[in-house]
Amino acid sequence: MKGLLGTTLEPMERGHRVVGAVALVLILAALVAVFVQAPTEKHLGDVQRIFYFHVACAWTAFLSFFLVFVGSLAYLRTRKTAWDVLAVSAAEIGVVFTSIALLTGSVWAKHAWGTWWEWEPRLTTTLLLWLIYVAYLMLRSAIPEASRRATFSAVFGIAGFVDVPIVFMSIRWWRSIHPAVVSGRGMDLDVAMYPAFFLSLAAFSLVFVSLLALRTALERSHQQLEEMKRQAAFKLGGEVSHG
Amino acid sequence: MADVWYLALAYGIIWLGLFGYLFHLSRQAHALGQELNLLREVLATEGRDEPEWDDAPEFDEEPQALAAERLAASQPAPGEA
């Protein structure tokens, strides 16, 4: 049976395909809302339209790192590999979305602030968040033994999550020039921006679910292959020594 | 005009990031499939039964048959040696 991304590995379930298709439809709807329905901002003009997908990427990154946190906690409690698979898959996707959020934010900043980068609290803590999860992935690749790798990275995944609320609260705790979508008074957005904003959030959340399903299937297949290799080496080695 | 350039750059980054990651996943899946077929091939050429796996994923039978054919072709016919 043809499976994940056209390979013969783990079969891609029908549910994954449905989520992928709905995500695609929502992305198209969000694009229409962003470029057609959403109002043009007075000072920034069309560049402000970066905001919708930029925030959606940041939201998806937070969601990913929350799942790393949950997966890591659950792994340490149960020692079930499935939680470790969830954590590493979510971490990788989180790094991708944080990278996109940092880069698109930088493009927006160049137009709005006249500089590609500013060492202000929101940007600095987000860069730190990115570095933490890149380090998490590097740590995993540096430990060959599966259970040690899972345990160390689970501890790292829990500790690393501390930065997520710091990123979110940074613009309230410190003096920041970064715009705030959610402030103490609630949503700081014009009502006309709501459809594009919430459609973008929904679309990227579903893209995340879809990518997570693919990535976890791949990770499971990878771990099965490693196990098969070990069993094969053991069996062949045993036969050779007996022969 | 500068507006459009920044907008295009930002959305370009988004699509490049998403499709780049999808491409990376598909390459990983392909490499994994190849590695697994190689493992099967090695086991087949060793002339041993494959070990029984728990929850083994499904794979094409083709590489195994191909490996068996290659093995048969590489061995001398009876009386030839």
User: Does B32 sit within 8 Å of A3, measured CB to CB?
Assistant: no
Q: What is the CATH number of the domain that holds A77?
A: 1.20.120
Segment A155-203, tens digit of pLDDT: 999 999 999 999 999 988 888 888 877 777 777 788 889 999 999 999 9
Percentage of chain B beyond pLDDT 70 is: 54
- pLDDT (0 to 100) of residue A175: 81
Counting beta carbons within 10 angstroms of the beta carbon of residue A133, is it exposed (0 to 12), middle (13 to 18) or buried (19 or more)?
buried
From CA A197, how far away is CA A182, in angstroms rounded?
12
Low-confidence ranges of chain A (pLDDT < 70): 1-12, 238-243
* From A129-133, A227-231, B34-38, B42-46, the region with the lowest mean pLDDT: B42-46
Q: Buried b vs exposed e over A192-222: b needs ≥16 C-beta within 10 Å?
A: ebebbbebbbbbbbbbbbbbbbbbbbbbbbb
List Cβ neighbours of A104 (8 Å cut-off, separation of 6 or more). Answer: A50, A53, A54, A57, B10, B13, B14
B47 touches chain A (CB under 8 A): no
Interface A-B: count of C-beta contacts within 8 A: 117
Confirm whether A34 is domain-assigned.
yes
Cβ-nearest to A100 among B13, B50, B56:
B13
Residues of B in contact with A46 (CB under 8 A): 3-4, 7
List Cβ neighbours of A192 (8 Å cut-off, separation of 6 or more). Answer: A38, A39
Asked whether residue B74 carries a pLDDT value surpassing 70, the answer given is no
From CA A74, how far away is CA A154, in angstroms rounded?
9
- pLDDT (0 to 100) of residue B77: 52
- pLDDT (0 to 100) of residue A190: 84
- pLDDT (0 to 100) of residue B53: 53
ipTM score: 0.86
- pLDDT (0 to 100) of residue A225: 87
Counting beta carbons within 10 angstroms of the beta carbon of residue B64, is it exposed (0 to 12), middle (13 to 18) or buried (19 or more)?
middle
Q: Which residue of B has its CA nearest to A210?
A: B22
- pLDDT (0 to 100) of residue A218: 93
Confirm whether A8 is domain-assigned.
no
DSSP-assigned states of every residue in B2-19: HHHHHHHHHHHHHHHHHH
Read off the DSSP letter of residue A35. I
Residues of A in contact with B4 (CB under 8 A): 46
Q: Provide the domain count of chain A.
A: 1
Q: Which two tokens stand for residue B48?
A: 């041993």
Predicted model pTM = 0.81
- pLDDT (0 to 100) of residue A182: 75
> How distant is the Cα of B80 from the closest Cα of chain A, in angstroms?
28
B46 touches chain A (CB under 8 A): yes
- Structural domain boundaries of chain B? 15-46+59-74
Q: Which domain holds residue A164?
A: 14-229
What are the distances in angstroms from CA A65 to CA A61, A72, A156?
Answer: 6, 10, 12
Q: Which two tokens stand for residue A157?
A: 């995944």
Find which of A2, A97, A100 to mutate to test the B interface (most B CBs within 10 Å of its CB): A100
Asked whether residue B65 carries a pLDDT value surpassing 90, the answer given is no
- pLDDT (0 to 100) of residue A144: 87
Segment B10-30, tens digit of pLDDT: 999 999 999 999 999 999 999
